[in-house]
A and B are shown apart, each in its own frame.
Chain A
Amino acid sequence: MAEVRETAAIELDGLTKTYGDVEAVRGVSLTIPRGQICGYLGPNGAGKTTTVKMATGMLRPTEGTARIEGFDITREPLEAKGRIGVVPETGALYESLTPREYLGLVAHLYHLDRAAAISKAESFLELFGIADASDRIMTSFSRGMRQKVLISAALMHNPSVLFLDEPLSGLDANTALVLKELLRDLALQGKTIFYCSHVLEVVERVCDRIVILKDGSVIADGNVEELKEMTHRGSLEGVFSELTSTGDLSGIVQALSRSVTGAGEE
């Protein structure tokens, strides 16, 4: 039986990543309790993916620590990584394998019981509607089909913490709906979900808590209502714009429009 520590699910403490003179992430500290869905938002280049990479052990922090259920991701990587499931933003997988082979590989890496793993893989492929393609190599798969395989792979070993970086990317509306409901259900079962996305409507509906990052630093942290109150805005879109926009959005739209049509040019 795996060791269980009575701690928060995810603890980020002063997490910092610098590349030479560039500070990609600046001292991010978060404590996410078990069973919470935490939305992690920020403009492009804010440091979201870098945070996820450090929290999942893919990137060594310049400073600070990341703990998964009490296990330090850099000092006890096998214990910590065994507890997480990750859907990466890049959608990287071995394209020359079939979905069945890929999920089989993942099952072996987590020492899953063979029979249970096969049955679980079959059921995922069936439920996501790609059972017909389960023996085809994935080179010709659409982005959505790959995303379904990636989500299945992240859930195969029944992780207690999920890191999802743009998980709805490429998914059709029905699957996206299923996934959103699934996340709520998993959270009710006590799983913790770290959810990075630019789709604010989904974050607003799914997440219990929202953390907004700008230029590598956390600039807001609370539930949707708290953030709305803080910024006096009526929607998460408004909150996000208020906190992260560097200029007048309607002005930018007008300028872009003029650039596209060439209006105003001599």
Chain B
Amino acid sequence: MPIGGWGAPPMRHSRGVDWQQLRALLVASIRLDIRSSRSRYGGSRVPPLAIVLVTYTVMGVLLAVALIRSGDPFAYSVFTLSGAMFMTALTVIMEYGTVVVNPDDFEIMAHRPISSKTYFWAKVANLLFYVSLMATTLAGPGSLMGGLTFPSGVAFGLTHYAMALLSCWSTAALVVLLYSAAVRVVSYDRFTNAITFVHTAATLVLTMGYVFLPRMLAEDPTLISIRRGGWLFAAPPAWYAAVVDMSAGGGIYENALLASAAGISSALLLGIAMSTISLSYAGRLSELASSSPREQNVKRRTSSRGGFPVGRLVCSGGSEMAGYELMASYLARERKLRSRVYPAFGLPLAAYLFGLLTNGLHDPLVAAPEGAGLNIMNILGLYCVFISFFFASAMTQTDQWKASWLFYAAPVDDRSALVVGARKVVIWRYLVPFFAGLFVLLSFTMPVLSAAAFVIVTFVLSLGTFSLIGLTAPHLPLSQSVEKARQMRQLGIVALLAIAMGVVIGIQKAFREMPMAGAFVLVGLVVGTWLLELGLRRRLRRRLAAEEFLG
């Protein structure tokens, strides 16, 4: 019996990969990447990926402009490439669920005649495409500016760009390799629960690395020099920068050694390791997609455990309580939501640890001594503000985004109370305990009064940011589907919000020089935040009264 086209000679097969299928899957994945879902409840008309790419281009230009004055092709390349690698690693870590392992694909593809290898390599090709776009926007401006500035001209630009691509691909491959190894060891449920904390730890490590190097450079400006070859073997961006330096006529011996490290690591990561994963990819995905009833029961039991009824204390009515319970359930049970929010805690933790290691946690109420360098407290303050930014953005996205119908359809007098309840979960179950913990940690390193002053200022700033975003953002909690790049769009915007650090520094200075003025500023902040929250409540009430759920 004829069975259509299937069974035709598989001419396009080689090494277990069906190239026709691979191409079709890749084209479909790219289409999905560049389109926004435009959901009924608030999907954007501009694809998140486009916003991310524009943001990354701005970051790439700023980085290139800031570093080009160094005049050293090697140091310039180390920094521009490490910036691109850092963002790539962060992106793949945060978006692993939609980029590489996506059990949602399983329902659509698992019954089709696609080999494990073909499917895996289609995923990898999609990842490489995605990473290439990022590398181009992050490091492309650096390649262009370096090509225009350094004497080796076009050769520098082209080599720099090629190394940016290769280094970012290898970084992505490393993250995929580590994650895939983890998925082999534990079940998907446990893995995704664990990954939430891995995200936090990875954010911490990456942030530490990112702030460590400039600090060390401030102490020893010759550190990033090809003549200091020894330690550079521990810094992957230097391996790829060595190739760029060779194109600019840099020293041969040290560069050749570092470049060979780049070549070997890339070949190992992109070739051998990925091939190994591809063999059992489909089988693994099948197991990930089917979580057992037993695990679900365990989950249900775990999540139904009672705790201290914070909601009853902080919510002023039944409607607020309903919103509180809904959001609390999602934050407790929705793995993807948690995995997008929790890494935010890794940032201030990294700053704190870094401050401890470098004695950079200066008392904010006492002026730092001359030549003390960067006060880590400022970075810590900034990262504390970032947490509320992460929450405000991530709490709008979930796989079960249709849950937001509640805000339009609930039979209550004031539906804005539901949203206020949802926001109170973030404040009372996450922000307050976090800042309380931070106060305890800081108390070990400075007078209690100073720690309290710092924590109060950053807490109020954090609340103000949370209210401001709530006031200006068009999306209600749980109203957007999870899409590739949405989280990175958020991170990109966060990176541009460094201006908040200026506020932290300003308030510290005001407290030091004129405590009364500092107190006034703090009171102003509190009042401002309160007014923002009132404005938010009023806006929500008007909006939700006007918008009816129409099905």
Contacts and interface: CB of A to CB of B under 8 A. Distances in A.
Given A78-B115, A88-B107, A109-B113, 13 more contacts: A24-B293, A57-B111, A58-B111, A58-B286, A78-B114, A81-B111, A84-B111, A90-B107, A94-B28, A106-B112, A109-B114, A117-B5, A157-B5
B428 to A, nearest CB: 35
A32 interface: no
B1 A92 contact: no
Q: Please name the 4 residue pairs, one residue from A and one from B, whose CB atoms are nearest each other, closest first.
A: A2-B7, A108-B24, A20-B294, A19-B292
Interface in B1-47: 1-8, 10, 12, 20-21, 23-25, 27-28, 31-32, 35-40, 43
B271 interface: no
Contacts of A139: 37-39, 43
B7 A108 contact: no
Contact of A2 (B3, B36, B295): B3
Given A92-B104, A111-B20, A83 B3 contact: yes
B37 A157 contact: no
Contacts of B108: 92-94
Nearest to B282: A77
12 contacts: A19-B294, A20-B292, A56-B110, A83-B6, A88-B107, A92-B104, A97-B28, A97-B32, A111-B5, A113-B5, A116-B5, A157-B6
Contacts of B283: 60
Interface of A: 1-4, 19-22, 24, 34, 53, 56-60, 77-79, 81-84, 86, 88, 90, 92-97, 101, 104-113, 116-117, 137, 139-140, 156-160, 163, 190
A113 B2 CA distance: 14
Contact of A94 (B1, B32, B40, B43): B32
A159 B286 contact: no
Contacts of A2: 2-3, 6-7
Contact of A60 (B4, B28, B286): B286
Interface in B39-79: 39-40, 43
Interface residues of B, number: 45
Interface in B84-115: 104, 106-108, 110-115
B111 A110 contact: no
A97 B4 CA distance: 24
Contacts of A95: 37
Interface string B263-285: 00000000000000000000100
A53 B287 CA distance: 12
Nearest to A34: B1
Contacts, number: 129
Contact of B113 (A59, A81, A107): A81
A7 to B, nearest CB: 12
Nearest to B36: A96
Nearest to A20: B294
B297 to A, nearest CB: 9
Interface in B210-235: none
Contact of B107 (A1, A24, A92, A159): A92
Interface string B130-148: 0000000000000000000
User: Most chain-B Cβ atoms within 10 A of its Cβ — which of A53, A93, A190?
Assistant: A53
Given A112-B4, A157-B4, A78 B113 contact: yes
Nearest to A57: B111
B274 to A, nearest CB: 21
A50 to B, nearest CB: 9
A29 B62 CA distance: 66
B107 A157 contact: no
A24 to B, nearest CB: 7
Contacts of B104: 92
Contacts of B5: 107, 110-113, 116-117, 157
Nearest to B33: A96
A159 B5 CA distance: 10
A187 B110 CA distance: 25
A87 B110 CA distance: 12
Given A19-B293, A159-B3, A109 B112 contact: yes
A158 B2 CA distance: 8
Nearest to B13: A78
A24 B296 CA distance: 14
A79 B113 CA distance: 7
B82 to A, nearest CB: 34
Given A111-B20, A160-B3, A56 B111 contact: yes
Contacts of B8: 111
A101 B293 CA distance: 36
B290 interface: yes
A158 B3 contact: yes
A101 B113 CA distance: 19
Contacts of B20: 108, 111
Interface in B460-512: none
User: Most chain-B Cβ atoms within 10 A of its Cβ — which of A53, A86, A94, A137?
Assistant: A94
A66 B292 CA distance: 21
A98 B129 CA distance: 22
Contacts of A79: 113
A97 B28 CA distance: 8
Contacts of B32: 94, 96-97
A22 B112 contact: no
A226 B289 CA distance: 39
A98 to B, nearest CB: 9
Contact of A111 (B6, B38, B106): B6
A34 B20 CA distance: 31
Nearest to A110: B6
B12 to A, nearest CB: 8
B156 to A, nearest CB: 40
A159 B115 contact: no
A77 B24 contact: no
A3 B7 CA distance: 8
A95 to B, nearest CB: 7
A20 B298 CA distance: 12
Contacts of B37: 95-96, 139
Contacts of B40: 140
Contacts of A1: 7
A231 to B, nearest CB: 30
B311 to A, nearest CB: 28
A20 B10 CA distance: 40
Contacts of A21: 294
B28 A105 contact: yes
Nearest to B283: A60
B23 A108 contact: yes
A157 B3 contact: yes
A59 B290 CA distance: 8
A110 B4 contact: yes
A79 B7 CA distance: 8
B99 to A, nearest CB: 15
Given A21-B294, A82-B113, A190 B6 contact: no
A93 B108 CA distance: 6
Nearest to A19: B292
Contacts of A22: 292-294
A218 B454 CA distance: 68
